Amino acid sequence: MVSQTHKLNLRQNRMSLLEIQKELERLPIPINKYRPSSGDGRSQAFGIVNRRCLPPDYSRNCWTRPYLYHLLLEYGKANVKIPYTSITVNQNYQAGPHRDKGNLGESYLVGFGDYNGGELEIHEGPLTGLHDVRQPMVADFSKVLHSVRVFEGKRYSLVFYTSKRSEGLPEPSVEFIEGKWTFLRGGVVCSGLPHPLKDRVKV
């Protein structure tokens, strides 16, 4: 018999995902054109990311979409029991076969929205097969070939994971300050990161 507490948790889970979906429908995330293996599409990372030619740090999405990041962090606090530094948001994105080389250990994956199909397909290893991720899935599948099956409708998914080389960075938070949602990096308001080449004079 399902307990009242479990039913309440499931309801709160669905409500949290619905709030995230509403925010994505209000303002869709941009198309990512830097994923040659999995293909172009609306897929963006929040939290710690690897940056080309620069040390890992927080994604610009954290300060350009602070309310969405707030919703993601709140969902994570309530539902994700594994350690994580990063969150990938997918919006109607059919990822092609790929491996996530920058991830460490287990990931938490959940799908939501009104769609048919769209299973996670794992192509190798002990988890080979199709997985309906509307039921949250925790597994170490980042290093094996995986993809998303064809779907119809509006499909959203979240992936919580730990990024490589993420040690030593300050904790993130999002607060409502002076009438707007604001990203804080280690308790300090952050609206961008300095680039090491900024203001350098060419010689």
In a domain, 195, yes or no: no
CATH number of the domain that 8 lies in? 2.60.120
In a domain, 197, yes or no: no
**Owner of token pair 């609206």:** 191
Mean pLDDT of 21-42: 95
The total domain count for the chain is 1
Q: What is the pLDDT of residues 91-115, one digit of tens each?
A: 999 999 999 988 999 999 999 999 9
Q: What is the pLDDT of residues 61-84, one digit of tens each?
A: 999 999 999 999 999 999 999 999
Domain that holds residue 80: 4-189
End-to-end CA distance of the chain: 73
**Sign of the CA dihedral 100, 98, 42, 106?**
negative
Q: How many CB atoms lie within 10 A of CB 181?
A: 16
Q: β-strands 188-189, 129-131: how paired?
A: unpaired
Side-chain-side CA neighbours of 166 within 13 Å: the count stands at 19
Q: How far is residue 108's CA from residue 135's CA, in Å, rounded to a whole number? A: 11
Burial annotation 94-110 (CB, 10 A radius, 16+ → b, else e): bbeeebbebbbebbbbb
Specify the pLDDT at position 197.
47
Q: What is the pLDDT of residues 120-179, one digit of tens each?
A: 999 999 999 999 999 999 999 988 999 999 999 999 999 999 998 888 899 999 999 999
In a domain, 200, yes or no: no
Specify the pLDDT at position 140.
94
Say which residue, 37 or 74, is predicted with more confidence. 74
Supply the pTM of this predicted model.
Answer: 0.90
Judged against a pLDDT cut of 90, whether residue 55 lies above it is answered with no
